[in-house]
Structure 1
Amino acid sequence: MSRISALVVARNEEARLPACLASLAQADEIVVVLDRSTDRSAEIARAQGHRVVEGAWSLEGDRRNAGIDACGGDWILEVDADETVPPELWAEIRRVTAASPHAFHRVRIDNHVGERLIRWGWAGSFGTTLKPILFRRGAKRWRPQRVHPGLDWTGTEGERITAHGIHHALDRDISDMLRRLDRYSSAKAADMLAEGRIGSLPDNLRRFVSRFFKSLIGRGGWREGGWGLLLAFCTGLFPLLSHLKARLEPERHRPE
């Protein structure tokens, strides 16, 4: 039977980490990567006998690669501290890893804002309902970027695991969603400045419109009513706001 490592990447998540770790109990190994954490996260993980990797990474891609390198399983399931894996999904994961000839599989993500499950409208870089988080060791590498880093793969993609999904406590409420938009766009502005490519205002205005309608119409956000409208707005605004931050306030967002 293939050994599965569960990888959790977190920062100051002592409130949500216990539930996340409990949901990963069926893994053969749990590795917790803590980036500049100052709370009890390390104590919580070590008390349960899990491997803890602590450090300070300015790039999300580097932080996640450090966690991948620390895993010893044949397969890796990569989750965040605000995610929990239900038992039904573990049965699917075991079934797939026992027979799959492929390098990675996408897993369904059930995104919640507060207690509300929002199934429709996720698009672009603001949220997704499928993530390639189950993969063979050595198949996945993150690129050195701050927010939503790109991925490099070795091997082919297998079946999508969609019968059951990971519970993702994405945002606590609307204000939390808007704060996330602010954080993401600041990190993206830093990446754009570091790469020397901030784009143009007309191009990003077009991206705002195309992403807005992709979320609202193409991805079915209209089914969610006002929540879908809000999600479409945030999805469209993310690249435009990132561009404006890089263009208008480069001194605040340029990496050191």
Structure 2
Amino acid sequence: MTKISVVMISFNAGELIEPALRSARWADEIVVVDSGSTDGTPAIGRRYANRFLHEDWRGFTAQKQFAVSLASNDWVFILDQDEEISPELAAQIQALDDDVLSRCDLFEVRRRNYAMGRPVRAWWPDHQSRLFHRGRCRWADEAIHDRRHPSEPGRTAKLTGWLEHRRHCREGFFDFNVGRISADRLRRAVMQMHDRGKLCHWWDVFIHPTAAFIKSYFMKRGFLDGVFGFMVARQQAHTTYLRYAALWAIQHDIAYQASDDDDQPRSTDSVEEATDAAAE
């Protein structure tokens, strides 16, 4: 039977990391890479992990790649510190035989996301590429979300089990949508859009936020969650607006700097100013 390693990166996980690691006790190996926690995370991690070590922060994708490289097994499941593997998903993974694993490079799993203590209907099923063969998959170049791709099309399968993503408590939901975390994520996403040559036209700041609301509230049936569903859809639209507004700001700032008629130096931090101002 093929052995599977569960890999996690951690930092000040508080009360979240213990249920996460407990849900992975079925694995043949647990590897945790911590980037300098100052709370009880290291003590908890060492209780559950076969291998626990410190590594200075490299960035989301690079840190996970480093952690995966430390696993003893080629088949790896990436688990975030604020997630739990459901018993159904754990049973499905353990039931995978060598024949199935030889025909696949990657398995997608569903993730149920929570905000303010309740599941978000509009964010389901949120497929994640978490179980994969590290020697047969390539990592996508993404600023925020780490993703992997199989060696060739057709070597991906989907599991019906799911992850429980409980990160958003009341305070966490507020901080994520209003404070520093939101601004930081937006900044990185917008910089990647700009670096890839993405442009924001005047109509983008109208069309994309509206489409985001319609998808969340109507197509994903967020309206069934009442006021809570409306709040989520409204936030999706607002975040989408900020992304395109910041992209518009940075591309016009650069355009102004390149103009021969503009003798005044201008800041190159428009995207930071746009996202910070909106988030504060």
Q: 1:110 aligns with which of 99, 104, 112?
A: 112
* Residue number in structure 1 paired with 2:65: 65
The two structures, once aligned, show a CA RMSD in angstroms of 2.7
Check 1:157–1:32 CA distance in 2 against 1; reply closer, same or farther (3 A cut). same
Q: Distance in 2 between matches of 1:15 and 1:58?
A: 24
* Residue number in structure 2 paired with 1:131: 128
Q: Deviations over 1:22-73 (max 9, x none)?
A: 1111000001122332223223222345212422335211111112211222
Select the structure of larger CA radius of gyration.
2
Q: Deviations over 1:175-216 (max 9, x none)?
A: 532422342442332353365457325324321111111111
Query: Given that residues 60 and 145 in structure 1 are in contact (C-alpha distance below 8 angstroms), is that contact kept between their aligned partners in structure 2?
Result: no
Q: 1:253 aligns with which of 268, 272, 280?
A: 272
Query: Given that residues 7 and 79 in structure 2 are in contact (C-alpha distance below 8 angstroms), is that contact kept between their aligned partners in structure 1?
Result: yes
* Residue number in structure 2 paired with 1:41: 41
**Structure 1 range deviating more: 41-50 or 128-137:** 41-50
**Structure 1 range deviating more: 109-118 or 60-69:** 109-118
The alignment of Structure 1 onto Structure 2 pairs a total of residues equal to 247
Report the CA distance between 1:83 and its aligned residue.
Answer: 1.0
Secondary structure in 1 aligned to 2:213?
A: helix
Query: Given that residues 246 and 270 in structure 2 are in contact (C-alpha distance below 8 angstroms), is that contact kept between their aligned partners in structure 1?
Result: no
- After TM superposition, the structure 1 = structure 2 runs for residues 88-237 of structure 1, keeping only pairs within 5 Å, are 88-96=88-96, 98-100=98-100, 101-118=103-120, 120-122=121-123, 129-149=126-146, 151-155=148-152, 156-162=154-160, 164-173=161-170, 175-181=171-177, 182=179, 183-193=181-191, 195-196=194-195, 197=197, 199-200=199-200, 202-237=203-238
Query: Given that residues 3 and 73 in structure 1 are in contact (C-alpha distance below 8 angstroms), is that contact kept between their aligned partners in structure 2?
Result: yes
Query: Given that residues 6 and 24 in structure 2 are in contact (C-alpha distance below 8 angstroms), is that contact kept between their aligned partners in structure 1?
Result: yes
Q: Distance in 2 between matches of 1:108 and 1:245?
A: 31
Report the CA distance between 1:114 and its aligned residue.
Answer: 4.0
Check 1:140–1:73 CA distance in 2 against 1; reply closer, same or farther (3 A cut). same
**Structure 1 range deviating more: 69-78 or 190-199:** 190-199
Report the CA distance between 1:79 and its aligned residue.
Answer: 1.2
Check 1:54–1:240 CA distance in 2 against 1; reply closer, same or farther (3 A cut). farther
Query: Given that residues 53 and 67 in structure 1 are in contact (C-alpha distance below 8 angstroms), is that contact kept between their aligned partners in structure 2?
Result: no
* Residue number in structure 1 paired with 2:278: none
Report the CA distance between 1:13 and its aligned residue.
Answer: 0.7
Structure 1 alignment gaps of length 5 or more: none
Query: Given that residues 59 and 144 in structure 1 are in contact (C-alpha distance below 8 angstroms), is that contact kept between their aligned partners in structure 2?
Result: no
Check 1:83–1:244 CA distance in 2 against 1; reply closer, same or farther (3 A cut). same
Q: Distance in 1 between matches of 2:184 and 2:203?
A: 20
Structure of higher RCO (CA pairs closer than 8 Å, 6+ residues apart): 1
Check 1:170–1:98 CA distance in 2 against 1; reply closer, same or farther (3 A cut). farther
TM-score after normalising by structure 2: 0.76
Q: Distance in 1 between matches of 2:95 and 2:81?
A: 24
TM-score after normalising by structure 1: 0.82
